[in-house]
Amino acid sequence: MEKHEAAFNALIEQDLKIEPHDWMPDEYRKHLVRQVSQHAHSEVIGMQPEGNWLLRAPSLRSKQVLLAKIQDEGGHGLYLYSVAETLNVSREELITQLHEGKARYSSVFNYPTLNWADIGAIGWLVDGAAIVNQVSLQKTSYGPYSRAMVRICMEESFHQRQGFEIMIHMARGTKEQREMAQDAVNRFWFPALMMFGPHDTDSAHTGNAMKWKIKRESNDYLRQKFIDKTVPQVEFLGLTVPDPNCRLNETTGSYEHSPLDWNEFHDVINGYGPCNTDRLDHHRNVQQENRWVREAAAAYAQKTETVNSSL
């Protein structure tokens, strides 16, 4: 046991990766499962707000781009469930926890998408925030998680660009389109900032996660990084950040901002956001309505599968 713990600590110390069969502290495993499952559920639930506009995408090009993007989110959910499975937690278990409200997902997906510019804002701000976090997680200490993040970051590199492209069209379009663009920024700015999680001082899980190099940078550090790179983009679009206190601090080179409304954050996290119930009901209903399909596939396999490897 001590020998194992020393080996584990040495791997972490040297910035090497922990692999599924390596010994790891229970708390390390638990933290990983919680973080990876939350990440996976976010990808999968995140398909819904964007899916809300898929059927109404205003051009053949935008429909294909949006569908490819939503499909990527599903794929990323799949990669992340696979990561959890290497820790001996089944996808089914994780989904049950989601349905029972025991597992969380990013609170930003509990906000509705109310106009087409929201699709731009999600790609640009929400994926933009996610990418800052995910780039950092490529260096996470758990091997399968790190490898999944590398693949995810590579695939997501088009997401933010497609979102920003929509914003450019909207911001440079008709008066109504500009209004939609500003409205989308107004509604998604703060929820995007909250995606980085609570302040470092209030973050229940940060301590060990940093020590074990599961998380590589703190919530507040990453949030500030996102603000600093995004505010100039808002200005480029000729839109405004919905925060009167957002200004560049010449000394630090960083943007200051108003305190975030953590009451709202906690309300949404605790199930009282505008769409929490709908998102979970949708996921649960699809699961239940298609039980017969999965049963059929299982029964068919039982009747027809052979060990022979030819198809």
Partner 1 sequence: MVISIDTNFARLLVRLADTELILAQRLCEMCSRGPFLEEDIALSNLALDLLGRAEELYKLLAETEGKELAADDYVYRRNEREFFCYKLVEQPNTDFAWVIARQYLHDVYAKSVFTRLLQSDNSKLAGLSEKVLKEIRYSLERSKDWMLRLGIGTEESNHRLQFAIDRLFRFVPELFAFDTVDLQYIADTEGLIEEWKMEVSDTLRTANIQEPELKSTHLRDSREGFHTEYLGHLLSEMQFLPRAYPDATW
Partner 2 sequence: METGDNIWEVFIQKKPGIAFKHAGSVHGYDKKMAVQNARDAYCRRGEGRELWVVPSASIVSVPMEDADAYFDPQEDKIYRHPTFYQIPAEVKNI
Burial class, 220, CB count within 10 angstroms (exposed 0-12 / middle 13-18 / buried 19+): middle
- Contacts of residue 293, defined as CB under 8 A and 6 or more positions apart, other chains included, come to none
Our CB check for partner 2 shows the closer of 50 and 183 to be: 50
Radius of gyration of the chain (CA): 21
Q: Cα 91 vs. chain centroid, distance in angstroms?
A: 17
Check: CB of residue 111 under 8 Å from CB of residue 188.
Answer: yes
Our CB check for partner 1 shows the closer of 48 and 141 to be: 48
90 binds, among partner 1, partner 2, none (CB under 5 to 8 A by kind): partner 2
Q: Is 282 in the site for partner 1 (CB under 8 A)?
A: yes
Q: Is 300 in the site for partner 2 (CB under 8 A)?
A: yes
**In the complex, least distance from residue 151 CB atom to partner 2, rounded to whole angstroms:** 8
Site for partner 2 in 64-83 (CB under 8 A): 71-72, 75, 78-79, 82
Q: Which residue in the block uniquely carries the two structure tokens 């499962």?
A: 33
60 binds, among partner 2, partner 1, none (CB under 5 to 8 A by kind): partner 1
Burial class, 306, CB count within 10 angstroms (exposed 0-12 / middle 13-18 / buried 19+): exposed
- Taking the C-alpha atoms of residue 116 and residue 170, their distance in angstroms, rounded to an integer, is 9
Helix (H, G, I), strand (E, B) or coil at 186: helix
63 binds, among partner 2, partner 1, none (CB under 5 to 8 A by kind): partner 1
Buried b vs exposed e over 105-125: b needs ≥16 C-beta within 10 Å? bbbbbbbebebbbbbbbbbbb
Check: CB of residue 122 under 8 Å from CB of residue 191.
Answer: no
**In the complex, least distance from residue 74 CB atom to partner 1, rounded to whole angstroms:** 5
> Binding residue for partner 2 (CB under 8 A) from 6, 10, 16, 299?
299
Q: Is 91 in the site for partner 2 (CB under 8 A)?
A: yes
Q: Is 299 in the site for partner 1 (CB under 8 A)?
A: yes
Q: Is 298 in the site for partner 2 (CB under 8 A)?
A: yes
151 binds, among partner 1, partner 2, none (CB under 5 to 8 A by kind): partner 2
Largest CA distance in the chain: 71
Residues near partner 1, by CB under 8 A: 44, 47-48, 51, 54-64, 67-68, 70-71, 74-75, 77-78, 81, 91, 116, 166, 169, 173-174, 176-177, 282, 286, 289-290, 292-300, 303-304
Residues near partner 2, by CB under 8 A: 21-23, 71-72, 75, 78-79, 82, 85, 90-92, 147-148, 151, 155, 294, 297-302, 304-305, 309, 311
